[in-house]
Amino acid sequence: MIDFGIQSTEGHTELRDAVRKLCSDFGVDYWERYDRDHRFAREFYEAFAAAGWLGMMVPEEYGGGGAGISEVCAVMEEVASSGGALNACTTVHATVVGMAALVRHGSEELKRKYLPAMANGELYMSFGVTEPDAGTDTTRITTKALRTETGYVVNGRKTWNSGAQEASKILLLVRTDPYSPGEKTKGMSLLVADINAPSVTIQPIAKIGRNAVDSNDVYFDNHPVEASDLVGDEGLGFKYLLSGLNAERIILASESIGIGRWSLAAAVRYAKERQVFDRPIGQNQSVQHPLAVNYMKLVSAASIVARAAAMYDSGASQDVCGPLANTAKYLASEAAFQTADDAMQTHGGYAFAREFHIGRYWIESRLQRIAPVNNQMILNNVAERVLDLPRSY
Ligand SMILES: Cc1cc2nc3c(=O)[nH]c(=O)nc-3n(C[C@H](O)[C@H](O)[C@H](O)COP(=O)(O)OP(=O)(O)OC[C@H]3O[C@@H](n4cnc5c(N)ncnc54)[C@H](O)[C@@H]3O)c2cc1C
């Protein structure tokens, strides 16, 4: 893979080399096969856990690595650029990033119960926020948890839950109090719930891509959850989710940079090799200029990701980090998709041959503009919070 020196964080050279080495055992053909076969990359997941990276954000006293966001960005960017794109990132992303709410807000008992097992890979947890009738407006979720003598009983439906078929637990956002227009974000709670139970039904969603990690509709029918599996305080679940968003956005942005790096390298290599009209197609300006623009967009997005990660690691408040985290997520995901799209054009008809892998990168980079948060919501946030324009939604 050609290296153009694009990087979302400075340094961490040895760490990046180690991730590249591990990922080289799981190359493009591995990910192509697992994507085509809709198969969870268990060997990759276990190797990643054994290297200590699954729990790298978990504090050391709970069996993790205690790493900062900059290191996590370095790791996830290398994973994305290794040939695995989002299939590889999402195989581990839920654990690397999804533990934030538990780490920050879980009781001591909850942390001791779950974090070490998540960090070493024994416990895989899915993440259940989205609902069919709520979508981006999370405050409209209707999955309810009613209090019982011993805890809660959950009824409702979640959708798009990644990895639910691999998971033994799901971090679930539920309503413990009804929606109230004046206090929309209150009354929601986070529960760690079992997912392998007769009261849970999991139905896979047939997807157009990123198929090494399953996505599912998950139904809860009088599903019991112990009181001790409540994360933090009842009613504050939404606030807990928000507190992890900046970190997640910065890490997602680094994954986009990795996707862009791979796509650009593939396009340049092909542009040099492919001969049409007795010369390499890369000799045409209409082929080389978009690739030059992609390089510049990726370099500039990567520098913002680095700034956002450094600011986060310096301990700046969530409010201060927000604009840069959002900017990083937006610019990196847009640059990655444009790069993958131009790589498609560069490959001509062969872009549609699975053996070139461009299609996987294209479709998975497209997903980064939609989920877990769409780029329109990022723009809404910047317009409102930075530019002080009226809230539009
Ligand atoms: C492959 C995949 C994996 C996923 N994994 C998970 C998971 O593990 N757990 C989980 O909980 N969820 C998961 N999701 C769900 C994902 O987070 C949601 O799809 C995403 O939040 C958007 O919600 P929606 O699809 O309902 O879009 P909608 O809310 O229906 O929005 C559709 C579009 O409308 C526009 N839009 C909506 N509201 C506004 C607004 N106010 N202003 C401007 N534009 C707006 C945006 O362009 C948006 O893309 C996953 C989704 C996918 C596709």
For 344-384, what is each residue's pLDDT tens digit?
A: 999 999 999 999 999 999 999 999 999 999 999 999 999 99
Residue nearest atom 12 in ligand 1 by C-alpha distance: 130
Q: Is 10 a residue whose pLDDT tops 90?
A: no
Q: What is the pLDDT of residue 388?
A: 98
Nearest atom (ligand 1) to Cα of 94? 8
C-alpha pair distances (Å), 179 with each of 135, 240, 289: 15, 17, 52
Cβ proximity of 139 and 184 under 8 Å: yes
Q: Is the CB of 132 under 6 A from ligand 1?
A: no
Q: How far apart are CA 301 and CA 258, in angstroms?
A: 11
Question: What CA–CA distances, in Å, run from 278 to 37, 118, 273?
Answer: 39, 55, 11
Residues 150 and 167: their CA atoms lie apart, in Å, by: 24
Q: Nearest-CA neighbor of 103 among 67, 170, 57?
A: 57
- pLDDT interval class at 94 (50, 70, 90): confident
Alpha-carbon span 362 to 264, nearest angstrom: 11
- Which pTM value belongs to this model? 0.97
The tokens describing 37, both together, are 């076969």
Is 161 close to ligand 1, i.e. is its CB under 6 Å away?
yes
Q: Is residue 338 over pLDDT 90?
A: yes
Is residue 97 over pLDDT 90?
no
Cβ pair 219, 213 in contact under 8 A: no
pLDDT at site 169: 97
Q: Is the distance from the beta carbon of residue 87 to the nearest atom of ligand 1 less than 6 Å?
A: no
Structure tokens at 142: 């209707």
Lowest mean pLDDT among 5-14, 138-147, 200-209: 5-14
